[in-house]
Structure 1
C-alpha cells in the first residue's frame, strides 16, 4: 500500500542556504529522513513563473540552474543530478488538463535554486526522480490553490509535492548585520498572522492575505514567493490537517517557515 505523503511548503530563503549553517538548514538536513521515501518529487518553485498557463518539465536529466549572481564560487560548483520523471510529468499534465488548465510542456527545463537548494539538503544523494512545475505570474492565491488541487492525486502514487518559496520575501530590506539579524515587527507580525489563519482553518482570509494580513505588501512586494504555499495547501485538499514544521528567520526579513499539509 502506497504511503500518502503530506504536501510541503518550504521557505528556501537565500541560495546560501545550501552552504551556510542555520536553523533552517539543519531542519532541512533532517527532514528527508523523517518522511517516508517518495517515489518521485514534484516541485512548484517561486523561480519558475509562466504567464497564463502552467508549464511542466519533461527533462530526463534536469540541469542544475544557478539562477543568481554575486555568490561564492562554491555555490556555483554545486550540482544536483537528480533524474527527471517524464512519466510523472505526463500524469501531471493529464491531471492539470482535467482540471481545466492549458499546459505547456518543456523538454529541457532544469531545476532552479528554489528546487535544488532545499532538495540537496533533504535528499543529498539526488536519487529521487524530480519534476518541476511552474507557478503562474500574476495569478491569484485561489488560482494556485486550484493548481495544487489539480495534482493532488499524485500523492496517492507516493509522490511528494513541494511548494518552494519564502514566507516573507522583501530583498530590498535585507539586513546587513548578517544571517542572525534582529527580526523587525512587521515581519514577525506577518508570519504570526499566517500561522494563526492556518491554525484556525481560515482559508478565505489567507486567500485574501494581501488585503487582510499586516504589512502584506511590505513582506511581499510581489507575491511569487508566497504563492507556492497555496499550491501546497491545495495539494492536500485545504487546511484539514496542517503543521508548522519549522520557524526561524534569516537576515532579519526572511521568515523560513515550513508547513506540512495532509
Structure 2
C-alpha cells in the first residue's frame, strides 16, 4: 500500500462551511480526490495544551468555539466517531519519541477539526482523533510531533495539520465587520506567503523552522504562532526527503491565506 500524503489545511474563518468561497469549493472537492482513509488524525491549532494531549472520546461532541456568525453555523454537528484505541496508541508513540503525552476525554471536535472535515468528508463516517498544539513550544517541537506520527501513513491513516497560513485576527475581524471578504491582499501578507511557498517548494527545512526570524512580516501574519504549528507536524509526518505540493491558494478577507499543501 502506498503511504498517504500528510496534509496542511488552512481552515480560515468558521463560516467557510457555509460561505461561497474558493477555499470552500476546494475543500468540498478534496475528499473526492483523496484515497479514503481508515482513520484521520488532526493536529488542530484550536486544541492547545502543554506537551501533547490526544482526544480519547468514543463519540466526540461538536464544539462551536466562536461567536458572531450566522445561526445556521451553530446548528452544524459533525458526528464522526472517535477512536480510543488509536488515541492510546498515539500517546504511546509520542512517549516513545520522548514527548510528554496523554489521552484526555470530554474533548469534542473544535472548529479547527470539524470545519474542514465537514467539507472534505461530509458523511462523518471516518474515525477522527485530535492532537493538540503546545502554544509555548515552537516549530521544532511540532515537527518532532509529526515525526512520531509518520508510521501511521503506511496504515492508511490520514494525518492532517489544521491551522492557517496566516492568522492576524485583528486585521481579519476588521475586514469581517466591513464585509470585505474579497478585500485586496496587502503586500505584507503576499510577501510572507510567497516566502513560505518558496521555502516549502525547495524543502528548506532550516529556513522554515526559523520562519519567525527569517520570513518577511512573520510576526504581522502570526502575532501568536499556534496556527502555523500544524504545518510543521504535517511536514514531520512526511518523513525524510519530504516534498511539498501546493493543493490550493486563495485569500479570505484579504489577510487570511487559505493555502493548502500535501507532503509526501
TM bracket (short chain): over 0.9
Q: SS of the residue aligned with 1:21?
A: coil
What residue is the counterpart of 1:24 in the other structure?
23
Q: SS of the residue aligned with 2:226?
A: coil
Deviation at 1:177, TM superposition (A): 4.5
Structure 1 runs of 4+ with >4 Å offset: none
What residue is the counterpart of 1:197 in the other structure?
199
What residue is the counterpart of 1:98 in the other structure?
96
Deviation at 1:239, TM superposition (A): 5.6
Matched, 1:154 2:156: no
Distance (Å, rounded) in 1 between the aligned partners of 2:90 and 2:3? 17
- The gaps in structure 1 that reach 5 residues or longer are none
Q: Scaled by the length of structure 2, what TM-score is found? A: 0.96
What residue is the counterpart of 2:8 in the other structure?
9
Q: Residues 192-241 of structure 1: CA distance to partner in whole angstroms, max 9, x if unpaired?
A: 00000011111100000010000000000000010100000000015622
- Contact 1:198 1:239 (C-alpha < 8 Å) held by counterparts: no
Which stretch shifts more, 6-15 or 172-181? 172-181
What residue is the counterpart of 2:58 in the other structure?
60
- Contact 1:12 1:118 (C-alpha < 8 Å) held by counterparts: yes
- Contact 2:63 2:110 (C-alpha < 8 Å) held by counterparts: yes
Distance (Å, rounded) in 2 between the aligned partners of 1:172 and 1:163? 23
Q: SS of the residue aligned with 1:167?
A: coil
Q: Scaled by the length of structure 1, what TM-score is found? A: 0.97
Q: Residues 138-192 of structure 1: CA distance to partner in whole angstroms, max 9, x if unpaired?
A: 1010110000001111111110000000000101112235211110000010010
- Contact 1:92 1:154 (C-alpha < 8 Å) held by counterparts: no
**Aligned pair in 2 of structure 1 residues 91, 167: CA closer, same or farther (>3 Å)?**
same
What residue is the counterpart of 2:35 in the other structure?
36
Q: Tell me how many residue pairs correspond in the alignment.
A: 260
Q: SS of the residue aligned with 1:133?
A: strand
